[in-house]
Each structure stands twice: as C-alpha cells, then as structure tokens.
Amino acid sequence: MTVITTVGTAERHLSAERATLVARVSVSDADRTTAIAAATALHNRLAARAGELHAAGDATWHHASTLSTGVHQWVDNDGSLHREHVTTSSVQVKLSNLDRVADTVEQLSAMGASVHASWALTEVTRTRVTREIRAAAVSDARVEADDFASALGTTIARVVTLRAGEAGPGPVGLRSAAMASGESAEVSIPDITVRVEVTAEFETS
C-alpha cells in the first residue's frame, strides 16, 4: 500500500459585478483652520455625491469617514523648519451600476479627491460559483492520483484525507487619476477569478 498526495484546482473567471470607489481627501496648509475648512468642504461634496448615487440606485452602499488632522514638519536644505497642517478623510461608495464607474471617478477626481477603484463579485455569486467548482477540484486531484497509481502499476483504493486549500486571487484594483479634459476615460471591467484548491491523500490497493 502506498499513500499518494495530490493537489487539485479548479477556477472560473467572471466579470466584476461591483466597484468600490474610495475618494481620499488630503488638504495641507500652514494655517490649521484653513486646512480643516477646505478639507471639510471637499469631504461634504464627495459625501453628497456618494449619497446621490446611493439614492438613485446606482450604488448599494456608501460611507463617509471622520476627518482627522495632523502636523507635518520638515527641514529644508538651508536648515529652515517648515510646518503645515494636514487634514484627511475618505468617502467610499459601492457601485452596482458599473456604467457609472468612469464618470463617477472623473467627477470625484475633478472635485479634488484621489480616487481608487477596487472590483468584486457579489457574495451570492462568489458562494454559488465556489460550490459549483469544488467537485472539479476534487476530480482534478483524483485524476492526478490515478496517473501516479498507474505509473506504479496499481490503482487507488480509497481517499484518506481531503483538505481545502487557500482561497483564490482577490479582486483586481485599478487606480485612476483626475481627467485633464472634459472627455470621459474608458474603464474596462476586469474579470474576477474564483478558485478552489484541495489537497487529497489516497491509498493504493
């Protein structure tokens, strides 16, 4: 009797169904009050736009963080000390209408935010597809075990253990910059990979 250990995998690629945009605010000024006021105004405009998208049904969720402020100090080449106040915050919105990604990124960027987009499937889709491809991963492990057993001049008698591996790759992230013209930037919706991996041990006859 010989124990054969194999790894089986299965994966499926699907177009992203959700895009989460994170609009980051960062305002610096030598005057603390000025930095806070400017950051607050920008933060409120971003939050209002995210709320509009949510209310219109183009987004499933949005969130505005609290503002924070700190001090940045540095010494230049002449030895002079510089000090500025930096106020930061972020606003997030999860878009379900992916046709709105490009223009929303452009709008938020034009307001003065740094915008990052991350992509995902819905949990319902990811769970359904994961369950669908588990059998394929197990079958892949069994086929490899059968090949090894055949090379040894024997056959597989039974499965000893079966262990799930790590989850597959996560969502793809795309970073966007503010547009320099009135023309909308083209945004390609990426594929998300759902992957299942199993490690199996088989005993030969």
In CATH, 18-120 is 3.30.70.360? yes
Q: pLDDT tens for the chain, 205 residues: list them.
A: 899 999 999 999 999 999 999 999 999 999 999 999 999 999 999 999 999 999 999 999 999 999 999 999 989 888 899 899 999 999 999 999 999 999 999 999 999 999 999 999 999 999 999 999 999 999 999 999 999 999 999 999 999 999 998 655 554 444 443 333 445 567 889 999 999 999 999 999 9
Domain boundaries, the chain: 1-17+121-205, 18-120
Mention the CATH class of domain 1-17+121-205: alpha beta
Cα gap 169→194, rounded to integer Å: 7
What's residue 92's pLDDT?
98
pTM above threshold 0.85: no
End-to-end CA distance of the chain: 6
Do residues 182 and 5 touch, judged by C-beta distance below 8 A?
no
Give Cβ neighbours of residue 103 (< 8 Å, ≥ 6 apart).
184
DSSP H helical ranges for the chain? 32-55, 101-111, 123-151
What is the spatial distance between Cα 141 and Cα 7, in angstroms, rounded to a whole number?
Answer: 5
